[in-house]
Each structure stands twice: as structure tokens, then as C-alpha cells.
Structure 1
Amino acid sequence: MTETANAPARGRKTPLWRSISAALTADIAEGRYAPGDKLPTEAELSARFGVNRHTVRRALADMAEMGLTHARRGAGVFVTQAPTDYPIGRRVRFHQNLRAAGRLPTREILGGETRAAAPREAEALHLPPGTPVHVSEGRSLADGQPMALFRSVFPAERFPGLLDRLAETGSVTTALAHYGVGDFTRASTRLTAKQATATQALHLRLREGDPILRAVGINVDPEGRPVEYGHTWFAGDRVTLTLDAE
């Protein structure tokens, strides 16, 4: 079949890839593909629409830019999941929250450093100005789909080598347990609506300016001493933050 099988060769105003994107979007809206379903392969879509794979690939990229689909390397293209309930309460645990929602959680560390605390960081962690802190930045995913970006700040003197622990385990809970912090709770949380910057949009597979939700929180140990000062930027259409009354 040729590129013109589904549209007239002359006078065509809508690009073929856009027509394919619209057709697949309609399929999703009509329930033919549910959240989490895998779309047909590029070869199958090429046969269905009578186009080459490059055109199909462009259509799928357009749908990904709109947040309708996401690709998993070696697995295919999937319809984006419905928003995941994410409890915000005294105990905020990324892995636990995602597993409870039936999702597979993973974390990617994008960077880390030990430096002098900024004024707000020192205040939040009850540290003298300029005290060394560990800063870990990364991306949280569910079933391979980016859910949030995070930046966590920890007292460096209390937790020597913490950045290596975080890189090894991918879990704040497990890393802090190594230092005898068997439990920690959320002392405060502030939520603010924001628009994704170009960098945030790239990491979260969003468009620049799309809605995101910023959560700023302080976690404390059982004695009330701050152990983490964190910022999390959630993709607005992928997470429903719920108030946990625990």
C-alpha cells in the first residue's frame, strides 16, 4: 500500500501522521484501548493505515507529546495509565504508595552532591548556616512512566556516605535505615501549582508549560529531628494527591 491510500494525493491539508494520531486518539477515547493497554506494533499500524513506519512513528511521537502514550524500551507503546492515587500524610513512601496502586515503582538518580546548605535548607533541617548537606536529585517512575522529579536534602554529618547508599538502593527509607533511622514521618507539606519548565517537561515527557504540582516537605525522625528536606514536582495528569488522615 502507498502513503496516499487513506487520503487524496492532491489538495491534502492534514498531514498523514496527524490523521493517524487523531484516529488512534479516538480509539482510546472510545475505549478500544484502555489505560495500560499496549498499542499495535508499528508494522501493524503501517498496514492498517497504508503508510510507512516513519509516518506511524511520527504519529506515536505526537501522542506521546500530548501525554496519551508512553514507550517502554523493548516492550512497545502503551496507553498512559489513569492518574494514580498518591497519599500525602504523616508517612509518605514512594515505593509503598505505588505498589499499593498496583504500579511498579522505580527511581533514577540524576545527580548528587555534598555542599554547603542554602539558607532555606539549613532552616528546614535545623542546621547552622553553611553546614554541609547531601543533595540527591532524580526521577520517580511507575511502570516505566515518569511520575515526578525530586530533590532531597539531608544533613551530611549525620549521614556520611548517604549518596552512595541512595544510589545503591534507590530508596530513602532503606538508606536511612542503615543509619539507625527505622522510621520517619512528615512534619509539614506545602503544595503549589506550577507550570513545567523546559527541563522538567523533558524529564517528565510533558510539554513546556503543562501543569505540575510541587510538594515541599520536611521529614523528621521519631525524636522530631529533621532528616530530609524535599521538593517533588509531580506530573499533573498522572497523579492524584490524596490526603492521608493517618
Structure 2
Amino acid sequence: MTTTPLWSMIADTLRGEIASGQYRPGDKLPTEAALARRFGVNRHTVRHALSGLIEDGTVTTRRGAGAFVSRPPTEYPLGRRVRFHQNLAAAGRLPQRVFLHIDTRNADPDEAKALALPTGARVHRAEGVSLADGLPIAHFISTFPATSLPDLPDHLRHTGSVTQALAACGLPDYTRAVTRLSARRASAMQARHLMLREGDPVLHSVSINHDADGRPVEFGRTVFVGDHVTLIMSPDG
């Protein structure tokens, strides 16, 4: 007669509670210590049970925050007009962007090339984290030409939105000219901002946006959390 391991029984119990709605998508599960007390086992057994739930996609973990019930990935269209707040609102998620740093500096070679600027030209650089329903889904670094957009940093700080900040600078519309996607592993810095483990899989996007006259106005480098986002290619969007 085969005996079901304790960790498997605990995993099945938690899986059933999640299926019944006791824990909803995005909810945090009790700590390992609390689960160990509840089931009368040691934390190693609980950790084994949680690993089983992580492997089948029922639960995800966030570095330093604990285990959470998985939620469906956020659908994020990548078309001619990529608008963070509009995209997330359309997907039924609450969008938020937190700027970590906004400064003006000399362009590095990649920035100068992407924005068609002379080497060392002045650029505005904004780094931050994009969130959906409070969950970090992307870390971004956006670079803009400083000479043609002198007041952009103030508008970014005031609005918290690239689209609104560009509109305040006299650019009501811009379109995506280039998007390059590649699979990578999260660096230590990216993992810290996105609540991941260093080396977790991420999607890396490099993009260039143009104004109505075809001039580059934004060079973007974004890292998306692989299991939190579904990128949808929509050339006509």
C-alpha cells in the first residue's frame, strides 16, 4: 500500500482551498512557519509542498515577500502605439509607474545611435518600475533628446506618464518604429526591483518611438517579468 507523502497532502489541501476561492489570485499565502504550525510539520515539508505548487503554476513567489496565488498574465499589446496606462486599463488592471531616477546626462553610444544624436549629446534618462494591480511587471529605462524636450523631466515627475509628459511638451502622438525582443536572465538589480531571484527568466525589449515627422523621441529598454506578462504583437495597433 502506497502512502501519500505529507508534503503532497499539504499541497493538495492548499490547491483545493485555492480552487474553492478561499485564496484568490494575487492573495498571499500564510508564511512557512504558519503553515508548519497548522499542519503540524516542519518547515522543510511545507517548503516541499510549496515547491510543488510553484512547479504546476498554482503559486508564485516574490523575493523577500512570500508565496502568492498565481494570477493570469497581463496581456500587453506591442503595436504602433504602445501606451502603458491605456494597455493595462484595457486589460482590466490598475496601472502604476514609479520613477526611480530622472536625470539629464550625456548620451551613451547606444542612446546616441538610437536617437540619431551626436555622440555625447544631452539626453533625459528616466528609470522606473511598471506595476499592474500593485505587482511589478517591468523595469524600464527610457531616454529622450534633451534639446528638443527641455521641460520633459518636470512633466514626467508631475504626470507619472510618458504619454502625458510628451503631450505637455507639444507631442500629442508618437508611434513605435522598432521593437526587439530577447529572452534573458534577470540581473541582481533587475531582480531587486521586480521582486525576482537573480537569474530568473525575463523578456528584454529594446524600442524606438518616433514623432509624426519620423524623428526619434524615445529610446526604451524594458525588462518584463516572464510569467507576469503576455506580450501581444499587433503591428496595426
Do 1:70 and 1:79's aligned partners in 2 also have CA atoms closer than 8 Å? no
Say which of 181, 189, 202 aligns to 2:179: 189
User: 5 Å matches for 1:15-54?
Assistant: 23=11, 26-27=14-15, 31-33=19-21, 36=25, 38-39=27-28, 48-49=38-39
User: 5 Å matches for 1:3-152?
Assistant: 23=11, 26-27=14-15, 31-33=19-21, 36=25, 38-39=27-28, 48-49=38-39, 68=60, 78-152=68-142
Do 2:151 and 2:169's aligned partners in 1 also have CA atoms closer than 8 Å? no
Say which of 222, 229, 237 aligns to 1:232: 222
1:36, CA displacement in angstroms?
Answer: 2.2
User: How far apart, in 2, do the equivalents of 1:111 and 1:236 lie?
Assistant: 24
Q: Give structure 1 stretches of 5+ with no counterpart.
A: 1-13
Q: Deviations over 1:37-94 (max 9, x none)?
A: 535667996874469xxx7xx97xx88xx671569x9xx9852321111111111111
Q: Deviations over 1:2-37 (max 9, x none)?
A: xxxxxxxxxxxx9x9xx59x6389517973457625
Task: Tell me which amino acid in the other structure corresponds to 1:147.
Answer: I
User: How far apart, in 2, do the equivalents of 1:142 and 1:103 lie?
Assistant: 6
Do 1:217 and 1:229's aligned partners in 2 also have CA atoms closer than 8 Å? yes
Task: Tell me which amino acid in the other structure corresponds to 2:181.
Answer: L
What is the aligned-residue identity percentage? Answer: 52
Given the two structures, how large is their TM-score scaled by the length of structure 1? 0.76
Aligned in 2, Cα 1:50/1:142: closer, same or farther, shift over 3 Å?
same
Task: Tell me which amino acid in the other structure corresponds to 1:68.
Answer: T
User: How far apart, in 2, do the equivalents of 1:219 and 1:99 lie?
Assistant: 21
Structure 1 vs Structure 2 CA RMSD: 3.3
1:167 is matched with which residue?
A: 157
Say which of 143, 153, 174 aligns to 2:143: 153
